[in-house]
Chain A
Amino acid sequence: MKKAILLATLLLGFFVNGWATNGGPEVDAGATAWMITSTALVLLMVPGLAMFYGGLVRSKNVLGTMMHSFAAMGVMSVLWVLVGYSMCFGESVLGGWFGWNNDYVFLNGIDETVMEGGVPELVFSMFQGKFAIITPALLAGAFAERVKFKGYLVFIALWGIIVYNPLCHWVWAEDGFLFNMGADGAIDFAGGTVVHISAGVSGLVAAIYLGARRGYPLRQLRPNNLVMTMMGVGLLWVGWFGFNAGSSVSSGIATAQALTATQVAGATGALAWAIIELFHHGKATALGFASGILAGLVAVTPAAGVVQPLGAMALAVAASLVCYGALMLKDKLGYDDSLDAFGIHGVGGIVGAVFLSFFIRKSWMENAAALAGGEWTVWNQFGIQVVAVGIAIAYSIVLTIALIWIVEKLFKLKSTDEEEMMGLDRAYHGERGYGMMNPN
Chain B
Amino acid sequence: MKLITAIIREYQLDQVRESLIQAGISRITVSRVSGNGNQVNTEVYRGKEFVPNLTPKMRIEIAVNDEFAEVTIDAIIKAAKSHNGHEGEVGDGKIFVTPLEQVIRIRTEERGSSAI
A residues engaging B (CB < 8 A)?
60, 214-215, 219, 418, 421-423, 426, 429-432, 436-440
Contact B43 A437 (CB under 8 A): no
Nearest-neighbour CB distance to chain B for A405, whole angstroms, equals 28
B32 within 8 A of partner (CB) = yes
Q: Which of B11, B14, B42, B43 gathers most chain A CB within 10 Å?
A: B11
Give the number of residue pairs across the A-B interface with Cβ within 8 Å: 41
Which residue of B has the minimal Cβ distance to A419? B11
B106 within 8 A of partner (CB) = no
Nearest-neighbour CB distance to chain A for B105, whole angstroms, equals 27
Nearest-neighbour CB distance to chain A for B11, whole angstroms, equals 5
Cα separation A213 to B54 with both chains bound (whole Å): 30
Which residues of chain A are near B56, meaning CB under 8 Å?
Answer: 432, 437-438
Cα separation A440 to B36 with both chains bound (whole Å): 12
Contact B10 A60 (CB under 8 A): yes
Q: Which of B14, B42, B45, B53 gathers most chain A CB within 10 Å?
A: B14
Cα separation A423 to B14 with both chains bound (whole Å): 12
B52 within 8 A of partner (CB) = yes
Which residue of B has the minimal Cβ distance to A60? B11
B113 within 8 A of partner (CB) = no
Cα separation A418 to B82 with both chains bound (whole Å): 9
B15 within 8 A of partner (CB) = yes
Nearest-neighbour CB distance to chain A for B25, whole angstroms, equals 17
Which residues of chain A are near B34, meaning CB under 8 Å?
Answer: 437-440
| Residues of chain B in range 77-109 having any CB-CB distance to chain A below 8 Å | 82-83
Contact B32 A432 (CB under 8 A): no
Instruction: Please pick, from B12, B44, B54, B82, the residue contacting A439 in the complex, using a CB distance under 8 A.
Output: B54
Known contacts A431-B45, A432-B43: does B54 contact A440 (CB below 8 Å)? yes
Cα separation A147 to B1 with both chains bound (whole Å): 45
B residues engaging A (CB < 8 A)?
10-12, 14-15, 32-34, 42-45, 49, 52-54, 56, 82-83
Nearest-neighbour CB distance to chain B for A147, whole angstroms, equals 17
28 A-B pairs with CB atoms under 8 Å apart are A60-B10, A60-B11, A214-B14, A418-B82, A418-B83, A421-B11, A421-B12, A421-B14, A423-B11, A426-B43, A429-B44, A430-B43, A430-B44, A431-B44, A432-B43, A432-B56, A436-B32, A437-B32, A437-B34, A437-B56, A438-B32, A438-B34, A438-B52, A438-B56, A439-B34, A439-B54, A440-B34, A440-B53
Which residue of B has the minimal Cβ distance to A422? B11
Which residues of chain A are near B10, meaning CB under 8 Å?
Answer: 60
Nearest-neighbour CB distance to chain B for A372, whole angstroms, equals 60
Which residue of A has the minimal Cβ distance to B84? A417
Instruction: Please pick, from B11, B14, B42, B82, the residue contacting A219 in the complex, using a CB distance under 8 A.
Output: B14
Q: Knowing that A60-B10, A437-B32, A437-B34 are A-B contacts, what are 6 other residue pairs whose CB atoms are under 8 Å apart, sorted by A's residue number?
A: A418-B82, A422-B11, A423-B11, A431-B43, A437-B33, A439-B54
Nearest-neighbour CB distance to chain A for B104, whole angstroms, equals 28
Which residues of chain A are near B32, meaning CB under 8 Å?
Answer: 436-438
Contact A215 B43 (CB under 8 A): no
Cα separation A440 to B56 with both chains bound (whole Å): 10
9 A-B pairs with the lowest CB-CB distances in the bound complex, closest first: A430-B44, A437-B32, A421-B11, A422-B11, A440-B54, A438-B56, A438-B34, A439-B34, A430-B43
Which residues of chain A are near B82, meaning CB under 8 Å?
Answer: 418
Which residues of chain A are near B12, meaning CB under 8 Å?
Answer: 421
Cα separation A1 to B10 with both chains bound (whole Å): 84
Contact B54 A430 (CB under 8 A): no
Which residues of chain A are near B53, meaning CB under 8 Å?
Answer: 440
Cα separation A426 to B14 with both chains bound (whole Å): 17
Cα separation A55 to B41 with both chains bound (whole Å): 26
Which residues of chain B are near A430, meaning CB under 8 Å?
Answer: 42-44, 49
Which residues of chain B are near A418, meaning CB under 8 Å?
Answer: 82-83
Cα separation A60 to B15 with both chains bound (whole Å): 15
Contact B15 A421 (CB under 8 A): yes
Which residue of B has the minimal Cβ distance to A221? B14
Which residue of A has the minimal Cβ distance to B10? A60
Which residues of chain B are near A422, meaning CB under 8 Å?
Answer: 11
Q: Which of B10, B33, B54 gathers most chain A CB within 10 Å?
A: B10
